[in-house]
Structure 1
Amino acid sequence: MAEQGAQRQDPLFVNSLGKGLSVLQAFGSDWDALGLREIAQRTGLNTSAAQRFTHTLTQLGYLRKDERTRRYRLGPRMLNFAYSYLRANPLYDVAIPIVISVRDEWQETVNVSVLDDTDAVVAIRMPSQRRINSNTAIGRRMPAYCVSTGRAVLAWLSPEERKAVLDRTNFVRLTPRTNIDRASLEACLDQVRIDGFAMVEEEADLGEMAVAAPIFDGERKPIAALGITTSTAYWSMEDAREKLAPIVMQAATAISRSLQGWHAF
């Protein structure tokens, strides 16, 4: 609510554009198509405004309408944004061969995630052939505080930046093992910075363990993290710390070296 108030007071903020984008954001991870009433409820728009925005977005190809049910789904043109983001960012070209190499050598799922506000967002994903989690795909968002890639980036932010992110974070227990104690998390992030990597066990998904290390740009700013995600059925925390942690640190360092001439903003 505070963010929306600040936007309304910003003379350069285009409210109509914000409302149109909110319609696209109304479509979540479920497969269900949405009707106008549901879109209006999720966006806070009245039905008339929702109708105008959905019509415009359908004409532009970003939504598709089932004329029989009069319900909407995201259109494939939405993928243009993901493609443009990845192609405009050198991280993708640099990281992809390293991610593939780590995945093939260790037969585990390898991700590269970036920090967006309080979330870790998957930008690159190479799934393991022996364990495929269909819930995780490029663009999936998870709270940064409870995933290894998020913690790996948070740990290397400046104290002011880290505090600002944690101040905006809504700490929610995703599993019985999710750590939502602010003081404990801060201590954990301090330890991550000492160790050089982050580890989580069943804090985001039961039965899942992950280890990650930060990726830096040319100014030593943490811009992403490379992580290996696996099953607690295959690895203990001790074995993962001994064997997987050095791998993610080595891979993340190799990517960082290739990004020395580039800085993110």
Structure 2
Amino acid sequence: MPPQRAGIQSVEVGFGLLQVLAASAGPLMLRDLAAAAGMSAAKAHRYLVSFQRLELVTQDSGTTRYDLGPAALKLGLASLSRLDSVKLARQRLGPLMEQIGQTLALAVWGNQGPTIVHWEESPQAITVNLRLGDVMPLLSSATGLCFSAFMAPRNKAHNAPQNRLALLLKDELARMQKLARKDVPRSMAEVNTLLDEVRQRGLARVVDTLLPGVAGFCAPVFDADGHLALGIVALGSLATFDPDWDGPVARPLVQAARQLSSDLGFDAG
């Protein structure tokens, strides 16, 4: 056994609260958060006060529920950007962008859904209000459709990310139904039909859905265990972006994603 080094026990105890929030499907009341972390509400509250000052945790003034804060997001994004899959993908975006002439991005699964962790803008790109750390909608973006389709394959055992995905899909579908949007699925049956098409094509696409006059593709990249590691996103104005499934944007994007998956040890069989 390696020798035990001295540490700060209170830091280790407090981190348990952050772990509970990270694993939770949503914000938590103090009593539930404390119970899940195995401590009293009074003790948990003292830690949470400090975490709020550091912006690791936020508290909703209306519901009084706690959730992870912006500092936790920054730490998570920094860690995700250092993953081997993201590093390898970033190295390949430059040549791919030169080939297809469109803005490219990388997205990974975060606590709130598919999250943009890298962005390379083409010189001919339109201006879009997207930033690093933005969480993409599941039903109206190519990124969201890609993660929805490939994170929850049929006939697979559910795990925490898939359970979280199911909850987010349900919530977003309810919001779209209230808005009476006709450009996105309006029932879970329509969602499943659309996700089946994404799986069959190996690529997700939106046209005029996320932003007017804008089209986008997202191609999945898998790791050696067959898990979705990230999505490679191409985005552009319909004035210059060819949205054809077999066009000059889609083909190189799919090829790049398949090659990266292979290099990460994925065997497509």
Taking structure 2 as the reference length, the TM-score comes to 0.67
- Give the equivalent residue in structure 2 for 1:110: 104
> Which structure 1 residue ranges, 5 or more long, are not aligned?
28-38, 46-61, 63-73
Q: Does 1:214 align with 2:220?
A: yes
1:9 is matched with: 35
Asked if the contact 1:178/1:202 (under 8 Å) is kept, the reply is no
Deviation per CA, 1:67-110: give whole Å up to 9, x if none.
xxxxxxx89xx8666434312x1122200121111112222011
Shift of 1:183: 1.5
Q: Distance between the aligned counterparts of 1:112 and 1:98, measured in 2?
A: 11
Assess if the C-alpha contact under 8 Å between 1:113 and 1:224 holds in 2. yes
Residue 258 (structure 1) aligns with: 263
Q: Mind listing any 5+ residue stretches in structure 2 that lack a counterpart?
A: 1-24
Which residue of 91, 96, 108 maps to 2:85? 91
Q: Distance between the aligned counterparts of 1:140 and 1:182, measured in 2? A: 25
Q: Is 1:242 aligned with 2:266?
A: no
Cα pair 1:112 1:224 within 8 Å, conserved: yes
Bigger mean CA deviation after superposition, 165-174 or 134-143: 165-174
Matched residue SS, 1:143: coil
Identify if the C-alpha distance between structure 1 residues 247 and 9 changes in structure 2 by more than 3 Å, giving closer, same or farther. Answer: same
Q: TM-score, normalised by structure 1?
A: 0.68
| Residue 183 (structure 1) aligned with residue 189 (structure 2) | yes
Equivalent residue runs for 1:115-264 within 5 Å: 115-117=109-111, 119-156=113-150, 157-159=152-154, 161=158, 165-169=165-169, 170-171=171-172, 172-173=175-176, 177-235=183-241, 237-238=243-244, 241-260=246-265
Query: Aligned partner of 2:199: which letter?
Result: R
Give the paired residue count: 220
Partners of 1:163 and 1:81 lie apart in 2 by 20
